[in-house]
Chain A
Amino acid sequence: MNNNRKVTLFIQCIIDGIYPEVGFAVVRVFEKLGIGVECPAEQTCCGQPAFNSGYRKDAKQAAEHFINVFGDAETIVCPSGSCVNMVRNHYPELLKDDRKWLPRALETAKRTFELSEYLVDVLGIDDLGASYGGRITYHDSCHLMRGIGVKEQPRKLIKKIRNAEFVEMYDSDRCCGFGGAFSVKYPEISTAILEDKIKNIISSNADVVTGCDMGCLMNIQGILSRKRLSIKTLHIAQLLAGESI
């Protein structure tokens, strides 16, 4: 049914560099749906690290590069809420005084979607025929939920996973304490916030915590590993791709 559809993937830098398997899970999700996938070879980073640290001139360069690389793509899909938030909400702000780039930024923003949002809202699909034997809990990433308003879409997708049990953790929508550079600049505060998140994950009795942003999941994984806890962190695409890892 989706024979003519094609999506262009923007792979978040964390996935590209540290978690390539998540990128391939995204590819498999689209393969399942019979949707063609493209990945422009020149893509790098959306510029969020620089923007969040205040380096707007540098972020602007990354933004312009992004817009150039994805200029012709009909539909851009990205497995990260915070990158999409960057493109959709911060590019227009970053380029607001630039008459050349602003229209292009606004135009690109309209064509950029977060993965779960694209599947559920655009394609109208919530069942990917995936299967996972275990208890899954979900962490709402801040930029995904508050920035671009995606809250129910991932839940719809997870609830359709076969053999899996979905459990809501307490305060799922509370920040995990990542905050990008914040996590290394203010590690004590970041960790204190993260500890609460971990408590809630543990009390959910889930054996896997999932989400739509590897930034948060990397943070959560980092402390789970340090505490030698066996709870796994998986990006939602990994669950939807039907891998039982």
Chain B
Amino acid sequence: MIRINTENYRDEAIKGINDPVLQKALADLQVRFGRGTAEAYRNLPEGPGLRRKAHEIRMKAVENLDILLERLSEKIRARGGHVFFAEDADAAVKYCLETARKHNVRLAVKGKSMTTEEIGLNNAFAAAGIEIAETDLGEYIIQLAGEHPSHIIAPAIHKTRSEIGLLFSEKLKIPFTTDPETLTRAARKALREKFLSAGMGISGCNIACAETGHITVVSNEGNIRMSTTLPKVHVAFMGMERITARLSDHDILFRLLSRGAAVQKMAGYVSYIGGPRQAGHADGPDEFHLVIIDNGRTKILADEEFREMLCCIRCGACLNVCPVYGKIGGHAYGYAYSGPVGAVVTPLLVGINRAKDLCLGETLCGACKDACPVDIDLPRMLLLLRSKLADGDSKWNAGRENTGEKMLYGIWSEIVQRRWAYDAMLGLSREGSRLFTGKDGMISSLPFFLQGWTESRDMKPPARKSFMRQWKKLEKQRRVK
């Protein structure tokens, strides 16, 4: 049921690169958000150093998850809400389906949630004959088109206005138009009907608060507020790491989240939800369920070197600056999470070998670390994942990916410890390269694994004499003098 397509990274990447519409959309997105976010951090009254503070807040929460989750659950239960700890995706999906069946739900409305994408909720509901309507405009477009989101925050960036116009005229039976306002109105009308007839509302959770016992949902369209207040039953999903100790932490985290996600000072709607409708409340669901999902997170928590990844608040800022994401788009990453966050978290969730291209197919430029509102060192973890691929790691069920390469590096490591051997290696490569050097003195085609380079680039061949050889000769002459 869960869509994991990480094996096709390379093919999907090439598809993305060759799609001019996507290229334009990605470039626009990165200019708008990527640059804007850096500026927004600089303009923080506390300065960009606030990201470090946020990191510490998140890390502290991650290290005390058991206590914090317990506190949250107690408070929610005391208000009559239900809390369910789901060990994996299946358990989470099953719980939600059972709840839907119990209430005879035919239609559920959903606010954007990557966690539900992670566990494959929509497919499971569709198979059970229950409709889930996405209510975030971008997600709604993607759902109508039968596709998957390509960006954590902007799921439909790969679609053009006229594609959306065609889609709406076909599915919503409206006259074709590319006018954003008319299109949004059409979506709004269709969605209002869904909101009013849905038996269940589904949402994610941005950051819960243990102190007050609330989950929070953040949006700019108000759709999540409607999804969580109009239907009789509300089921919220949260990754078990998405919690913090105190309400005061939220001030910092939400300001950073809003800047990272959409270059805003604060998102349009921030709702705190602590259970079903209480006496005296004008609205809210009769029943509230919180599904707290593990699905591989305990394993990440247990590994000190990857624990930092649980600080992630899924803002998408790292996607907006990543040169690789900026070319290949979100679909190449083959799972709910794309871009740098996906490149680290997906291998940890679905298996390092299975997602090897995500670990290897990055430039390690480090832009993601600077963009991250909670200062996560993604490049460090990418390198670490590569080391698991290189040597295997039973803790992560990772096997050595490439024994030939391992052997080559083994030989290389012996060579680099001996200058004479190193010189011999340089000599060999120089001789070898002669065969490939053209009249202009450049190499325009190389064999074997080096072919990748010369597909698009020339290369200067090794020099006749290395710097060190020339230097040594000069030294000798100097001494003679």
A residues bordering B, Cβ < 8 Å?
Answer: 11, 15-20, 23-24, 39, 41-45, 47, 49-59, 61-62, 65, 93, 142-143, 146-147, 174-175, 177-194, 196, 218-219, 221-223, 225-226
Contacts and interface: CB of A to CB of B under 8 A. Distances in A.
Size category, B interface: 35 or more
Given A11-B468, A182-B361, 11 more contacts: A44-B417, A55-B406, A57-B413, A65-B417, A142-B367, A184-B450, A185-B452, A187-B452, A188-B10, A219-B457, A226-B456
Contacts of A11: 467-468
Interface in B372-425: 380, 383, 385-391, 405-406, 409-410, 412-417, 419, 422
Nearest to A45: B416
A189 B419 contact: no
A55 B408 CA distance: 10
Nearest to A16: B467
A183 B451 CA distance: 10
A16 B323 contact: no
Interface of B: 10, 13-14, 17, 323-324, 326-328, 360-367, 369-370, 380, 383, 385-391, 405-406, 409-410, 412-417, 419, 422, 426, 429, 440, 442, 444, 449-453, 455-463, 465-468, 470-472
B463 A20 contact: yes
Contacts of A142: 363-367
**Interface-centre pick from A11, A41, A54, A191 (highest chain B CB count, 10 A):** A54
A20 to B, nearest CB: 4
Contacts of A54: 383, 385-391
B410 A58 contact: yes
A235 to B, nearest CB: 12
Nearest to A46: B416
Q: Which of A52, A193, A221 has the most CB of B within 10 A?
A: A193
Contacts of A179: 362-365
Given A41-B419, A189-B13, A193-B324, A222 B457 contact: yes
Contacts of A57: 391, 413
A192 B460 contact: no
B412 A58 contact: yes
A16 B17 CA distance: 35
Instruction: Return the 4 tightest CB-CB contacts between A and B, nearest first.
Output: A222-B457, A54-B386, A54-B390, A179-B363
B367 A23 contact: no
Given A16-B466, A62-B417, A142-B364, A187 B472 contact: no
Max chain B C-beta neighbours (<10 A), residue from A49, A147, A222: A222
Contact of B453 (A52, A188, A222): A222
22 contacts: A16-B466, A19-B463, A23-B467, A41-B419, A43-B419, A43-B468, A44-B419, A55-B390, A55-B409, A56-B390, A57-B391, A62-B416, A143-B366, A174-B365, A183-B452, A187-B452, A189-B17, A189-B361, A191-B455, A222-B457, A223-B456, A223-B458
B444 A226 contact: yes
Contacts of B324: 189, 193
Contacts of B388: 54
A188 B23 CA distance: 14
A53 B366 contact: no
A15 B360 CA distance: 25
B107 to A, nearest CB: 41
B429 to A, nearest CB: 7
B224 to A, nearest CB: 34
A147 B363 CA distance: 13
A225 B367 contact: no
A192 B324 CA distance: 9
B118 to A, nearest CB: 25
Nearest to A192: B327
A147 B387 contact: no
A229 to B, nearest CB: 11
Contacts of A223: 456-458
A174 B13 CA distance: 20
Contacts of B413: 50, 55, 57-59, 61-62
Contacts of B360: 181-182, 185-186
A245 to B, nearest CB: 14
Nearest to A173: B367
A91 to B, nearest CB: 13
A219 B454 CA distance: 10
B460 A218 contact: yes
Contacts of A65: 416-417
Nearest to A182: B363
B410 to A, nearest CB: 6
A226 B458 contact: yes
B471 A39 contact: yes
- Most chain A CB within 10 A, of B17, B456, B462, is at B456
Contacts of B369: 146
Interface centre among A51, A62, A146, A188 (most CB of B within 10 A): A188
